[in-house]
């Protein structure tokens, strides 16, 4: 894509994710289900955190495009490095994990991840914006332009560290409230829960590798040029 086209796309994607994140934090306060939106609010859900992540990524991407358009190439190079690291390590694997895992569990038993009581709180379009649209956005980003992935060891360490932080947040909430962020977790013994977390990490790592594979297959090993 031309830089101007990329700038327009990234700007629109940033506005979209900002709007969706704003919308989920301002859902109707009346008749909220008792089991959600308590300690930690919406910020305990990976879905909502992913919306913020995507907004940050597209904001950084738009900034990189603008710097390239105005020929601030030295600054652009630094921002592009941050953009590519953010996309490869977090934005693509997390959005893919959120979409696929949510709909897989929703199909199996929605009460485990998205109780029916939420239908009266969160509009259908917002549910799909959070859990469906994030996947095609991620794939479109790979198709739109090449991204330089970090060394595999560095990328996986960063991804694992972020996963550890989120799991720690989930466990902290349980220790304070006695309630799990997702009802699914209550079904597991401590050993089973550890195995579930380990399996989820393995899945998100596979999505990291898949994103890197797609990027390489579409764009090859060539260096990104300003």
> What is the pTM (predicted TM-score) of this model?
0.91
pLDDT at residue 120 in the model: 83
Distances (CA, A) of 219 to 6, 62, 144, 222, 224: 16, 21, 10, 7, 9
Residue pLDDT, tens place only, 29-53: 554 554 555 677 788 999 999 999 9
pLDDT at residue 214 in the model: 95
Which of 46, 45, 57, 64 lies closest to 16, judged by CA? 57
Residue 189 structure tokens: 């013994």
Q: Which residues of 48-71 are buried (b: 16+ CB within 10 A; e: fewer)?
A: bbbbebbbbbbbbbbbbbbbbeee
Task: State how far Cα 140 lies from the chain centre.
Answer: 14
What are the domain boundaries of the chain? 3-219
Residue pLDDT, tens place only, 15-31: 999 999 999 887 765 54
Residue pLDDT, tens place only, 120-167: 888 999 999 999 999 999 999 999 999 999 999 999 999 999 999 999
Residue pLDDT, tens place only, 76-110: 889 999 999 999 999 999 999 999 999 999 999 99
Contacts of 85 (CB under 8 A, 6+ apart): 150, 158
**Rounded CA gap, 198 and 29, in Å?**
35
């Amino acid at each position: 894509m031309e830089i101007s086209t990329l700038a327009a796309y990234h700007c629109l994607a940033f506005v979209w994710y900002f709007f969706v994140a704003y919308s989920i934090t301002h859902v109707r306060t009346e008749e909220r289900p008792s089991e959600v939106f308590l300690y930690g609010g919406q910020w305990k859900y990976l879905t909502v955190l992913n919306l913020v992540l995507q907004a940050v990524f597209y904001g950084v991407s738009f900034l990189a495009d603008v710097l390239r358009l105005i020929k601030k190439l030295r600054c652009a190079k630094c921002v592009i490095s941050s953009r590519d690291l953010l996309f490869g390590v977090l934005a693509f694997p997390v959005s893919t994990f959120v979409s696929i895992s949510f709909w897989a569990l929703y199909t199996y038993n929605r009460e485990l991840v998205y109780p029916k009581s939420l239908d009266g709180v969160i509009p259908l379009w917002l549910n799909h914006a959070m859990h469906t649209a994030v996947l095609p956005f991620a794939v479109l980003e790979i198709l739109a332009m090449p991204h330089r992935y970090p060394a595999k060891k560095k990328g996986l360490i960063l991804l694992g560290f972020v996963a550890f932080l989120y799991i720690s947040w989930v466990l902290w909430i349980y220790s304070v409230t006695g309630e799990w962020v997702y009802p699914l977790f209550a079904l597991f013994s401590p050993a089973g829960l550890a195995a579930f977390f380990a399996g989820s990490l393995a899945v998100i790592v596979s999505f990291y590798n898949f994103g890197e594979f797609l990027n390489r297959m579409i764009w090859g090993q060539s260096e990104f040029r300003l």
